[in-house]
Amino acid sequence: MPDERLRVLIADDHQLFRRGLRMVLDDEDDIEVVAEAGDGRETVELTREHAPDVVVLDVRMPVLSGIEAAREIRAEQPGTRILVLTISDEEDDLYEAIKAGANGYLLKEISIDEIGDAVRQIHAGQSLITPSMASKLLEEFAALVRRDEQPPEVPAPRLTPREMEVLEHIAKGMNNRDIANALFISENTVKNHVRNILEKLHLRSRMEAVLYAVRENLLEIE
């Protein structure tokens, strides 16, 4: 039924890319593109108007950047999920997007066939990140850990060995299905482990869990 389709807003300052992405998503039976925006300010306004399930936006946009738009959307529409789809492989853009509340960060090199699944996973609560960007993120935070001379104010919560394994796989950019296959456990078991990890660390998303783990030296990064 149409009412059950995922409602998506596409934001990119390149009209041809927007149209191409719309054509791809319109071919998905369970996805409906409700609006397109060409700049960050329009993205915020149309999100306010349409309350989409997922906003797919670029980092670099005029008037208001995608990161600034994500920050406003997160504050005004906390239920809307945000997927950054960009050509930018700059670490600063990735880090700032996460801080702004993005639920995923994918490079435009992603296969067209994967776009629909990415939108579905973001809507379902997954946090997606291009593996090459995940590596850069971990390297950056490992550097921050090494430069940080202040010890944690409180002991880091203790994770079980299995939870640490799950966290390490999340850090590699793997989704629940891939983690389940790698560890020979069910997808539901992975979900339970992820939920326990977030509860123990008092965090809201998988990305925040990875960043926290690196900052607190829970993950060994070479």
In this predicted structure, which of 88-92, 158-162, 217-221 has the lowest mean pLDDT? Answer: 217-221
Cα–Cα distance for residue pair 3/28, rounded to 1 Å = 14
**Within the chain, what is the greatest distance between any pair of CA atoms?**
56
Fold of the CATH domain 136-215: Arc Repressor Mutant, subunit A (1.10.10)
Task: Work out the mean pLDDT of the chain and round it to a whole number.
Answer: 83
Domain limits, CATH 3.40.50.2300, in the chain = 2-129
Whether 128 shows a pLDDT value over 90: the answer reads no
3 — pLDDT class (breaks 50, 70, 90): low
| Mean pLDDT for the stretch of residues 5-12 | 94
Please, are residues 42 and 14 in contact by the beta-carbon 8 Å criterion?
Answer: no
Cα separations in angstroms, 95 against 5, 71, 183? 31, 13, 29
Per the model's pLDDT, the better-predicted residue between 22 and 147 turns out to be: 22
Query: What is the distance, to the nearest Å, from the Cα of residue 147 to the centroid of all Cα atoms in its chain?
Result: 26
| Mean pLDDT for the stretch of residues 189-201 | 89
Residues in the chain: 222
Instruction: Indicate the pTM of the whole model.
Output: 0.65
Q: Which residue has the tokens 């456990």?
A: 185
Q: Which residue has the tokens 């992405």?
A: 21
- Domain range 2-129, its CATH number among 3.40.140.10, 3.90.1150.10, 3.40.50.2300, 3.40.50.300: 3.40.50.2300
Give 74-86 pLDDT, tens digit per residue: 989 888 999 999 8
Give 59-74 pLDDT, tens digit per residue: 989 999 999 999 999 9
Whether 6 shows a pLDDT value over 70: the answer reads yes
Domain limits, CATH 1.10.10.10, in the chain = 136-215
- DSSP letter string over the chain? -GGGSEEEEEE-S-HHHHHHHHHHHHTSTTEEEEEEESSHHHHHHHHHHH--SEEEE-S--SSS-HHHHHHHHHHH-TTSEEEEEES---HHHHHHHHHHT-SEEEETTS-HHHHHHHHHHHHTT--EE-HHHHHHHHHHHHHHHHH--SPPSSPPPPPPHHHHHHHHHHHTT--HHHHHHHHT--HHHHHHHHHHHHHHHT-SSHHHHHHHHHHTT-S---
Residue 208 is predicted with a pLDDT of 77
Give 133-187 pLDDT, tens digit per residue: 777 666 665 555 555 545 555 455 688 889 988 988 887 777 888 899 999 999 8
